[in-house]
Amino acid sequence: MDGSQVAEFVKRVLVDVRAVRFDELHFQRAAACVVFNPVFWNIAARIEYKTHLLTRITGSPRRGCYLLAVVIFSLGILRDLLFQRALSFQSVSQTLVQQPWCAKIGYGCLALGQLLVCTSMYQLGVTGTYLGDYFGILMKERVTTFPFNVCDNPMYQGSTLSFLGISLVKGSPPGLVIAVLVYAMYKIALRFEEPFTAKIYAKRDRDVQSKSQ
C-alpha cells in the first residue's frame, strides 16, 4: 500500500468507527467494566494501605492480598466476557475484514500481549501482580528480566495489545474503541499507582536505613 492507499484505508476505518452504536447496551456494559476495574482496584488498595481492612478481615496481609487478587481476576474475566459479547452485537468493518494483513497483525498483537501478561505474572507472582506492596508485601529488588527489560508496565501493555489484537482479528470497530479506552484507563491508573508505589518503597528504604543506624 502506498501513502494514498494508507490514507484512504484509515479514512474508511474512521468512518466505520463513527458508525459504532455507543448507545447499545452491551457496548456500554463492556465500556463501564473497563472503566470500573482499575478505579476499583486502586481504591481498594488505598483503603487497605490506610486501614488494613482486608488484612483484618482475612487475618493476614498475604491472605488479604489473595482475596483482592481473586476479586480483580474475576472482574477481569467479567470484563473480557462483556467485551466479547459487545462485539457480537455490532457490525464488523468490511474495510478491516477484507484486508488479510489486518487479521495477521491482530494475531501478532494478541500473541505478544498474552506473552507480556503471562511472563509478567510469572516474574512478579501473585502478590507482586495484585498490589501486594499495599499490604506491606514488598519485593526485595526491582525485577529487570523479561518482560520488564523491554517495557515498564508489561501487564497493562500486554492487556491493551490483546484487546487491540482481538478487535483486528474480528474486524470490529467497537473493539477498537474499547481497546483505546483500555489504554486510556491504564494510563490514568499509572498516574496514581506509580507515585504511590514509589512512596511505599521509599518509606521501606528509610525504615531500613533508620534501623541500621
Average pLDDT over residues 71-81: 98
Residue 4 pLDDT: 82
Residue 132 pLDDT: 97
Contact 153, 108 (CB under 8 A): no
pLDDT confidence tier of residue 213, bands split at 50, 70 and 90: low
Query: pLDDT tens digits, residue range 113-136?
Result: 999 999 999 999 999 999 999 999
Grid cell digits, residue 86: 459487545
Burial 177-213 (b: 16+ CB within 10 A, else e): bbbebbbebbeebeeebeeebeeeeeeeeeeeeeeee
pLDDT exceeds 80 at position 73: yes
pLDDT exceeds 70 at position 1: no
pLDDT exceeds 80 at position 84: yes
CA 128/CA 60 separation, integer angstroms: 16
Whole-prediction pTM = 0.93
pLDDT confidence tier of residue 205, bands split at 50, 70 and 90: confident
CA 129/CA 122 separation, integer angstroms: 9
Query: pLDDT tens digits, residue range 93-104?
Result: 999 999 999 999
Residue 206 pLDDT: 86
Query: pLDDT tens digits, residue range 147-170?
Result: 999 999 999 999 999 999 999 999
Binding-site positions read 111-113, 193-194
CA 55/CA 70 separation, integer angstroms: 15
Residue 131 pLDDT: 97
Contact 163, 110 (CB under 8 A): no
Average pLDDT over residues 32-49: 98
Binding-site positions for S-adenosyl-L-methionine read 111-113, 193-194
